[in-house]
Each structure stands twice: as structure tokens, then as C-alpha cells.
Amino acid sequence: MPPRARKRCHPALTGLVALAATAAVLSAAPPATAADTWTEVGSDRADPLTESQGLTSVEVPAGSPNRYTGIGTIPVGVSVRGWNHVGDPDASYDGHYVEPYQRDSGTTKMFRVQAPGGGWSEYVHTLGAGEALNNSWVAIAPEGQWMLAGEWGTMTRLQVFPTPGVNPATSPSADLPQVSSVRLDRPVRDVQGCDFSGPTTLLCSSDDPAGDLFGITKPLLQIDLSAAPGTADVTGRVTALRQLPLRSGCSGGFETEGVDYDRRTGTLRVIVMSPGFCLLTDSKTYRFTRG
């Protein structure tokens, strides 16, 4: 996929003709390259309109419900300005909620932020040299000041930004700069979401359909950083933990989506959208605990 190709939407959201194109049977994948340390403990139906892109747990205020994104969660006032794709969101421990947005073309991507008091603001980032247009996910580091983001395609880096609305160096009236990168020790492909499970550990969902990078398609990845992210580049060691569940009443191409790690319960959740017409009936948010 070219470096600025837009992340694809699930075929059922773009028409019945595209749905038919997903009818090929998914081939069996070889074993994972690392021990499976996450055990599936349950699942919930994922609504294809409002829960098909990403999710996050919210700690502040106490008792806040989990939040999801999908094509149906994009406000009209946002979509009419061309921001027609929302990715996997995240929330800081102080209650700032961040959604990543992209357009079909142009030289910018956008992060939409809701402050703990409820007000919304938008932070726009101008693409750097060689940067992909797509804006698939965000993951806020536990200390809150820095935020990771990722691009679609085969990548050897993750981007690091000051967390909009949290880091005092950010402003809706100023360009949001990329300040550093996470340099990966091996390529990753089509990462749809990441979340921190510790100060320097990320869990990520990959929609990789080929399986040549890790020996499995649609892997759950762990990325161990050499240090907490900030203004200096750090390295990331990538490990494939397991293949994500690919179960449906329909055969064809599944799409893995966003991921969330809830540190309060130790629960990992990952969205997997079903192929074909089963997108509407048996897409799931799977729950895992560490085995």
C-alpha cells in the first residue's frame, strides 16, 4: 500500500458489492512466534456503526462507561469538513479523551480532544516528509504528557506527539508537532490500535492479512520500549503473542480493530469485525486476561 493510502473501511460499510469481494475463505495460519500469554475469557457483540473502529476505558470521572468509535460516532459537524474516518481512541489517567481523525486527501491529520469538563477542541498536525496521511490510533503514555500514534501499512516506527490538551506545550491554535519516534526492531503491518499496559509496554492489534512478518495473520503484538516516550527517540522490541480470534458464521476476510487495556481490572479488549453480512450479527469485542 502506498505511504499515503487511506486505511480501508470494512466492506459492509461501503456497499454490498464490496461485501461480496470478501467471500474468499480465510486460510489457516501457522503457529505464533511467541508464547500465548493472554487467555480469552469472553466477548460482547460489537455494533458495526458505533463500535467498529476503536475503544477505550475511562478512569476519570469514576464510574465512566467505556467509549467506542465507529462511523456512526463521527459528529456531522466534523464529517462535513472532510474528517470522515475516526480511529482507535485513548484516555489519559486525568480524564482527557483523544480521538484520531483523517481525511481522504490533504496534508494534515487531526486529534479531537474532550477535556474532563466536557468541552471539545481540535488539534491539527501537518504531515512531515514521508508521513502517511492515515491516522489509525492513539495511545497516551501513563504519565500523560506524551502520546503515540500510528500509520497504516508496513511501518518500522511509531510516532510520538505531546498529548493534546494535557501537555502545556500544545494549543488548538498551533500545529501539533511530532517530537520523536519509536524505532521498531522489526516491521509491523496495518496496526489498528495500541494501548499501554505499563510505562514502557504496548499491546497492539494488527490487521495484517499476509502473515509473513510473524507467521500468523491478525496478530496481537507486544512492543517493549527501551524507555518511556518523550522528546528523544526510543527503540521498540516487537513480539507476536497470538492470533486474534477469527470466528464467524460467515467465511471471508475479518478485520481487527482497536484495543484497550484496563489497568484497573487487568482486562484486555480487542474488536474483531466479521466478514460479509455477518459484520452485522456476530462481530465481537473479545476480552482477555493474562494467563
CATH at residue 104: 2.120.10
Burial of 4 (C-beta count, 10 Å sphere; 0-12/13-18/19+) = middle
Tally of structural domains, the chain: 1
Q: Are strands 120-126 and 137-140 parallel, antiparallel or unpaired?
A: unpaired
Determine which helix (DSSP H) or strand (DSSP E) holds 28, and give its type and residue range. Answer: none
Question: What are the residue ranges of helices labelled H in 64-115?
Answer: 76-79
pTM, to two decimals: 0.89
Does residue 257 fall inside a structural domain?
yes
pLDDT digits (tens, 9 = 90+) for 78-92: 999 999 999 999 999
Per-residue pLDDT at 24 exceeds 90: no
pLDDT confidence of residue 263: 95
Band (13; pLDDT cuts 50, 70, 90):
low
Q: Where are the beta strands (DSSP E) in 27-104?
A: 38-45, 54-56, 67-69, 85-86, 90-91, 97-102
Residue 1 DSSP code:
-
Question: Does 60 score more than 50 pLDDT?
Answer: yes
Determine the pLDDT at residue 2.
Answer: 38
**Own/partner pairs, 208-213, CB within 8 angstroms, 24+ separation:** 209/253, 211/29, 211/30, 213/154, 213/186, 213/187, 213/188, 213/189, 213/240
Structure confidence at residue 36 as a pLDDT band (50, 70, 90) = low
Q: Provide the 8-state DSSP code for 166.
A: T
Maximal C-alpha separation, the chain: 50
Is the residue at 115 inside a domain?
Answer: yes
Residue 22 reports pLDDT greater than 60: no
The answer to whether position 26 is within a domain reads: no
Q: 48: domain range?
A: 38-290
CA–CA separation, 97 and 191 (whole Å): 20
When the pLDDT of each residue in the chain is averaged and rounded to a whole number, the result is: 90
pLDDT reading at 15 higher than 60: no
**Is residue 108 a part of any domain in this protein?**
yes
pLDDT, tens digit, for every residue of 107-148?
999 999 999 999 999 999 999 999 999 999 999 999 999 999
Q: Is residue 18 part of a domain?
A: no
Taking 80 as the threshold, does the pLDDT of residue 34 lie above it?
Answer: no
Would you say residue 148 lies in a domain? yes
